Amino acid sequence: MTQNATTAMRAAPHTTPEERMALGKEARRRSPRSGHAQYRPPPDRRDPLAILEAQSAARVPELVPIRYGRMMEAPFRFYRGAAAIMACDPADSPTSGLKAQLCGAAHMVNFRLLASPERQLVFDINDFDETLPGPWEWDVKRLAASLVIAGRANGFDDAERARIVSSTVRSYREAMIRFAGMSNLDVWYAKIGADRLESLAAGRLHGTKSGRKRLAHAWRRPAPATVCRLSTSSRRRSTADPGSRRIPRRSSRPATCCRTSSAAPWSAGSAACSSGTAALRLPTGVRS
């Protein structure tokens, strides 16, 4: 999509779904799916190790060897620590021109069950250390690639890995289609609960000792944002009336912040990851 088309979409928040769909189709025409079929590194591709060394220059020197040691243990551990490398690789790849506030490290281990302020277990992204604005395609590619690497680590053949990745990206696409017909506020409140994850895993989550332990741990693990939302200052104190900070349930107002405008991609990413990890049978070889 051209910069003018992207700007027009953002400058006209009250466009109809049909108008937004037309802009989306134009973006797809300019960047067809076939353009993402293969990755061809450019001749001047940066050395991956040089990228890591440049990162290390700004890190605590005593911790750098520990980081490298962990990344050397297994391909997936290297992948987890190589977000900067993957941020460079797709820089020249085709995009639709539609940007979102990316997770930046949307691999499968950065999605997990968390206890929400409403005392419910939700499946969501739990790491935003690498967050930045960028093409939505980058997060989807990083998630899909992580499932391929995890599949290899767990002995899945090419056909099984292809099925898992196809299921993942199909779930993302279908979730975005659903969100396109919803209001901003309904998208904001969209979530994936433990019951949905359990149904996707066909009982395997509860059926093993490891699964029961993970659920119990998730209940004791609060969402990181909860502490900041309900408390103030460096010495944490509860706010006077956190319950009064409510948003009307129905609203047609357009998205006005990066979290609202990125709610659909993040929620779609959670839906995609839940589908992929269920197909992957919650692999043990890639645990953090």
Interaxial angle between packed helices 263-279 and 158-180, expressed in degrees from 0 to 180 and rounded to the nearest 10: 150
Alpha carbons within 13 angstroms on the beta-carbon side of residue 205 total 21
Q: Is residue 38 part of a domain?
A: no
Is the pLDDT assigned to residue 262 strictly greater than 90? no
Of 81-85, 123-127, 195-199, where does mean pLDDT reach its minimum?
195-199
Q: Is residue 244 part of a domain?
A: no
Domain residues for 124? 104-233+253-288
Task: Tell me the residue type at 116.
Answer: S
**Token couple for 84:** 């900067």
Tens digits of per-residue pLDDT, 210-259? 655 666 665 555 544 444 444 444 454 444 444 334 444 444 443 333 34
Q: Is residue 187 part of a domain?
A: yes
**Token couple for 241:** 């009336």
Q: Is residue 4 part of a domain?
A: no
Which residue would you say has higher pLDDT here, 79 or 241?
79
CA distance 39 to 138: 13
Tens digits of per-residue pLDDT, 123-153? 888 888 888 898 999 999 999 999 999 999 9
pLDDT at 132: 85
User: Do 203 and 281 touch, CB atoms closer than 8 A?
Assistant: no
Alpha-carbon distances of 275 from 102, 177, 262, rounded to whole Å: 20, 16, 20
pLDDT at 72: 94
Q: Is residue 183 part of a domain?
A: yes
CA distance 39 to 149: 16
Q: Is residue 133 part of a domain?
A: yes
The 3-state secondary structure of 203-270, one letter per residue: CHHHHCHHHHHHHHHHHHCECHHHHHHHEECCCCEECCCHHHCCCCCCCCCCCCCHHHHCHHHHHHHH
Q: Is residue 39 part of a domain?
A: no
Report the number of distinct structural domains present in the chain: 1
pLDDT at 114: 81
Of 26-35, 64-73, 257-266, where does mean pLDDT reach its minimum?
257-266
Q: Is residue 158 part of a domain?
A: yes
Predicted structure pTM score: 0.71
Is the pLDDT assigned to residue 160 strictly greater than 80? yes
Of 23-27, 29-33, 250-254, where does mean pLDDT reach its minimum?
250-254
pLDDT at 17: 76
Residue with tokens 């353009």: 35
Which residues have C-beta within 8 Å of that of residue 24, sequence separation ≥ 6? Answer: 96, 98
